[in-house]
């Protein structure tokens, strides 16, 4: 039996299939990039438990990328724990780590959300993401809004941003926005806001997370999302200590 589908309709179907296939491919690539990022983090932290971040050169060509592994001391200072030449002392393979960095940090990789702003004169700094991103986000939010229970975010690629915070029984309230849809006033200090947004973007590509999104279908992408914060840890009541008799 000969198909009666018209050439025009068949063309539209094929183009839609191509667009959806590309969207699925791009989505899978981002999931893979975050998986690489988390695997790299786990590999290094397992070998060097004090490690909090590393420095590397952008992967513009094949070559050595990783420079050193660092930590943040209790007083807030940064200290290099180990340089590239000594990685074998902690049973880490520099070439293998370079390979992961090269794959994870493509030019438009979502893994760049885990790096600090940088310029061409300095190496890139990758802050290892927390094992539980949602708990970390909740902690960051409640440092400024102790009663907060949720967030509203826009996760549009390359322009993700926070829209609102809500707490208690107060519904989500979208505060005044500018022409680009961004809040006219900052909800958090710049560094805190950047951390929260970047963690949210990463969570969108971590299967099983509250923000995980499957690949878009039929060209529909839902970028405005709501996220419930993790419950605040309860503080056990302190036992009364009787005063010692003099």
Query: Among 146, 156, 123, which residue's Cα sits nearest to residue 223?
Result: 156
Looking at residue 168, what is its pLDDT? Answer: 66
- CA gyration radius, the chain: 23
**pLDDT grade for 246, boundaries at 50, 70 and 90:** very low
Residue 174 CB neighbours (<10 A): 11
* CA–CA gap between residue 168 and residue 182 (Å, rounded): 24
Sole residue written with tokens 């001391």: 73
Q: 196-238 pLDDT, tens per residue?
A: 999 999 999 999 998 887 766 554 555 788 888 998 776 555 5
**pLDDT grade for 82, boundaries at 50, 70 and 90:** very high
Looking at residue 67, what is its pLDDT? Answer: 94
CA distances from 113 to 8, 9, 177, 201, 224 (A): 42, 41, 24, 8, 18
Q: 100-143 pLDDT, tens per residue?
A: 999 999 888 999 999 998 777 789 999 999 999 999 999 999 99
Residue 115 CB neighbours (<10 A): 18
Query: Per the structure block, which two tokens stand in for 82?
Result: 């180990």
* CA–CA gap between residue 162 and residue 85 (Å, rounded): 41
End-to-end CA distance of the chain: 103
Q: 7-28 pLDDT, tens per residue?
A: 888 888 888 888 888 888 999 9
The answer to whether residues 171 and 190 touch, using CB atoms and an 8 Å cutoff, is: no
Whole-prediction pTM: 0.82
């Amino acid at each position: 039996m000969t198909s009666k589908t018209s050439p025009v309709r068949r063309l539209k179907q094929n183009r839609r299939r191509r667009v959806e296939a590309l969207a699925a491919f791009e989505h899978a690539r981002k999931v893979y990039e975050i998986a690489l990022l988390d695997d790299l983090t786990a590999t290094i932290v397992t070998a060097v438990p004090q490690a909090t971040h590393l420095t590397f050169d952008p992967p513009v060509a094949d070559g050595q990328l990783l420079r050193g592994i660092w930590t943040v001391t209790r007083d807030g200072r940064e200290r290099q724990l180990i340089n590239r030449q000594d990685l074998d002392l902690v049973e880490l393979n520099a070439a293998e780590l370079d390979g992961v960095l090269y794959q994870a940090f493509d030019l438009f990789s979502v893994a760049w959300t885990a790096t600090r702003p940088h310029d061409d004169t300095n190496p890139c700094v990758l802050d290892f993401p927390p094992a539980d991103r949602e708990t970390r986000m909740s902690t960051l939010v409640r440092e400024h809004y102790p009663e907060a229970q949720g967030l509203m975010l826009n996760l549009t690629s390359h322009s993700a941003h926070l829209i609102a915070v809500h707490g208690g029984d107060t519904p989500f309230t979208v505060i005044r926005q500018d022409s680009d849809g961004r809040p006219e006033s900052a909800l958090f200090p710049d560094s805190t806001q950047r951390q929260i947004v970047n963690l949210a973007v990463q969570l969108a590509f971590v299967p099983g997370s509250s923000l995980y999104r499957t690949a878009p279908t039929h060209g529909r992408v839902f970028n405005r999302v709501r996220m419930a914060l993790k419950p605040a840890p309860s503080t056990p009541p302190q036992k009364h200590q009787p005063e010692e008799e003099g």
